[in-house]
A and B are shown apart, each in its own frame.
Chain A
Amino acid sequence: MAKYLLLKHYRGAPAAVNDVPMDQWQPEEITAHIKYMQDFAARLEKTGEFVDGQALAPEGTWVRYDGEGRPPVTDGPFAETKDLIAGWMVIDVDSYERAIELAGELSAAPGAGGKPIHEWLEVRPFLAVPPTITE
């Protein structure tokens, strides 16, 4: 088994095929989209492949250490940040091929006009623990 992070971006991913902002969809299309996402996660729980899923607020803050005895420096949020993560799902699957297959299904979530969004998702393998048998 290997873990993969499926990353969804607010910004920074190539444009989706069906790229319409959600507030311009029909309300029932939003409902259908949310149901698709919930059903997808529920299905992966049943197959024993779901680990975690979280959504992130669009705005964050940059923080860095500023030396002994000083409070951390904060900056942002920056409107021009190129890459903005919207959320993730962590899956634990038998193969890279399975991870790709699942990301493909997630990208087919319905959007405007009830048609698949064809959204680009980023699939990132976790760095695993070293194996016990190495030779």
Chain B
Amino acid sequence: MDEALLRSLTPAVLGVLVRRGADFAAAEDAVQEALVEAVRVWPADPPRDPKGWLVTVAWRKFLDATRADATRRRREDLVEQEPAGGPASEVDDTLRLYFLCAHPSLTPSSAVALTLRAIGGLTTRQIARAYLVPETTMAQRISRAKRTVSGVRFDRPGDVATVLRVLYLVFNEGYSGDVDLAAEAIRLTRQLAAAIDHPEVAGLLALMLLHHARRAGRIGPDGGLVPLAEQDRARWDGGLIAEGVGILQAALVRDRLGEFQAQAAIAALHADAPTAEETDWVQIVEWYDELVRLTDSPVVRLNRAVAVGEADGPRAGLAALAALDDSLPRHAAVAAHLRERDGDLVTAARLYAEAARKAPNLAERDHLTRQAARLNARLNARGPDPGSRRG
């Protein structure tokens, strides 16, 4: 049984229940139970109409769960109602669910968890494993999130930007756990792109595809990080790159630039280069200038300094870096890279070691420690250099 296909029906089924009058929290529980039942029953007895089957089972679960007298009266009314059908409303339902699960009243971690469960159809246990927290903790986070949005009206569209931020967070969370969050984020963004015509949704989808395409090249045979310039480009997924570039180009011609399209454009320029040396850094700097204009983010300015270093030489990169606060995350790593390219290996080795101490994750720390060790080994082989060693 294709679990992703089963889970792709989640928002449509949930939408039907909510439209029939079920409250969101109870409907979401009922849909989860129906999904669990499907995993159990379908392999031996696949239904002819999977969505119809899920709606029937979820609705029954919902009715079973609502036992109080007052609710029963209401439920008897509800049973009489036929779901308002039609493919157009199904798309609207899906879209409304995305807005609801990314509602601004939710914290980012709650919005992420609720999106993965109510739209992604993942179980609480799968989400808990993906984020390395106990299942009871994740269950509480999700039920609190459901309570938070329980008063939100389901009929109004929200801000697409909030939904995109949530999907971006899911994608960026990495590849730990038994659920592939990056692939799940792509699936959810594809589904969103099918429901709404918006250049930034397309931009985010293109960005995800272009980064996902490089995934096999990013990790070396020893499990360590491989920097972009050293990646084996034959291991990149050409199909995903072509799809990402196509989606991006269609979005860009509409002339409504946003930060995700600009980020995707940078990723596309990297993907386009047959070798690292053939990268069009001048154009990449121009896209970073657009990104600075759109976001004014110091992290973007830091990445721009790297690009300037490649386009105009390490001295220019260091000049761009000098304008930035050195407490920025990864500042030392960027400085180390530019110093090395400028030939100042002693400073570069010291900065790599400092960057390793400040690294936000183990993979980066290991990589940066190796960079420091690589330069120190070269410096030591060259003979005693009073500046290269301390203590």
Q: Do A and B bind each other?
A: yes
| Count of interface residues, chain B, beta-carbon cutoff 8 Å | 23
Q: Given known contacts A55-B362, A58-B357, is B376 in contact with A24 (CB within 8 Å)?
A: yes
Set of chain B residues within 8 Å of A22, measured between Cβ atoms: 369, 373
Decide: B377 and A30 in contact? CB cutoff 8 A.
Answer: no
In angstroms, Cα B349 to Cα A55, docked, is 23
B370 CB within 8 Å of chain A: yes
Q: In this complex, what residue of B is CB-closest to A52?
A: B132
Decide: A23 and B362 in contact? CB cutoff 8 A.
Answer: no
A34 CB within 8 Å of chain B: yes
B223 CB within 8 Å of chain A: yes
Q: Given known contacts A22-B373, A38-B223, is B366 in contact with A30 (CB within 8 Å)?
A: yes
B118 CB within 8 Å of chain A: no
Decide: B357 and A27 in contact? CB cutoff 8 A.
Answer: no
CB-contact partner of B370 in A27, A38, A59, under 8 A:
A27
Q: In this complex, what residue of A is CB-closest to B377?
A: A26
Set of chain A residues within 8 Å of B369, measured between Cβ atoms: 22-23, 30
Decide: B377 and A27 in contact? CB cutoff 8 A.
Answer: yes
Decide: B362 and A30 in contact? CB cutoff 8 A.
Answer: no
- How many pairs of residues, A versus B, come closer than 8 Å at their CB atoms? 45
Chain B min CB distance to A125 (Å): 23
In angstroms, Cα B389 to Cα A21, docked, is 11
Q: Given known contacts A23-B353, A23-B356, is B373 in contact with A34 (CB within 8 Å)?
A: no
Main SS of chain B's interface residues? Answer: helix
Decide: A31 and B377 in contact? CB cutoff 8 A.
Answer: no
In angstroms, Cα B362 to Cα A25, docked, is 18
| Count of interface residues, chain A, beta-carbon cutoff 8 Å | 17
Q: In this complex, what residue of B is CB-closest to A30?
A: B370
Decide: A23 and B223 in contact? CB cutoff 8 A.
Answer: no
A115 CB within 8 Å of chain B: no
In angstroms, Cα B377 to Cα A34, docked, is 18
B222 CB within 8 Å of chain A: yes
Interface centre among B222, B356, B370, B374 (most CB of A within 10 A): B370
Decide: B357 and A31 in contact? CB cutoff 8 A.
Answer: no
In angstroms, Cα B369 to Cα A21, docked, is 10
14 contacts between A and B (CB under 8 A): A23-B349, A23-B352, A23-B376, A24-B376, A26-B377, A27-B374, A29-B373, A30-B366, A30-B370, A34-B366, A55-B362, A57-B358, A57-B359, A58-B357
Report B's interface with A, CB cutoff 8 A.
222-224, 349, 352-353, 356-360, 362, 365-366, 369-370, 372-374, 376-377, 380, 389
- Those 5 A-B pairs whose CB atoms lie nearest each other, nearest first: A23-B372, A23-B353, A27-B370, A27-B373, A27-B374
